[in-house]
Amino acid sequence: MRCGALFSLIAIVFSSGCELISITEDVSYRSSDRAVPSKTIDQIEVGQTNRLWLEKHLGPASTIKESDETLTYTYRFSEQVQQRVRIFLLFQQRSTDTRERLLFVELKDDLVQKLWLDGEEENLLEALTPG
């Protein structure tokens, strides 16, 4: 009889659409004076986003480097990654990893030309662009 009840429970779980394994990850950024949603960084567009938008949404840059015709804004963030792994009725684990990150934004003629995070060789905008 117990096997029948267990089989019924498993059948209900599968037929109800419940996830047996769930893995979620949430990434957030924080500068010294504000929280910065990761969606904000995703909204930056080459040739469209200007210096005033950056200052409004990301705050003042930690450093500004001027060379030839470009400005490179450096933003210092604390990146927090929260991950949760659940196996239905058996196991649940949560972990939080925090590290310091640098976001570099290159501007020319007051418009974003390039965007990358420290330790990443490729242009972040190219990585985010489908194709």
Q: 18: part of which helix (H) or strand (E)?
A: none
The stretch 123-130 carries a mean pLDDT of 49
41 compared with 52, residue with greater pLDDT = 52
Whether 95 maps to a domain, the answer reads no
Sole residue written with tokens 């418009």: 111
Q: What is the pLDDT of residue 6?
A: 59
Whether 105 maps to a domain, the answer reads yes
Pairing verdict, β 70-87 and 91-108: antiparallel
Say if residues 20 and 13 touch (Cβ distance below 8 Å).
Answer: yes
CATH number for the domain harbouring residue 56:
3.30.1450
Stated pTM of the model: 0.64
Whether 55 maps to a domain, the answer reads yes
Whether 121 maps to a domain, the answer reads yes
Q: What is the pLDDT of residue 55?
A: 92
Whether 16 maps to a domain, the answer reads no
- pLDDT band (50, 70, 90) for residue 8: low
Q: What is the pLDDT of residue 48?
A: 96
- pLDDT band (50, 70, 90) for residue 3: low
Total number of domains constituting the chain: 1
32 lies in which domain range? 28-77+100-128
Task: Work out the mean pLDDT of the chain and round it to a whole number.
Answer: 80
Whether 107 maps to a domain, the answer reads yes
Which two three-digit tokens encode residue 46?
């080459």
In the chain, the amino acid numbered 86 is R
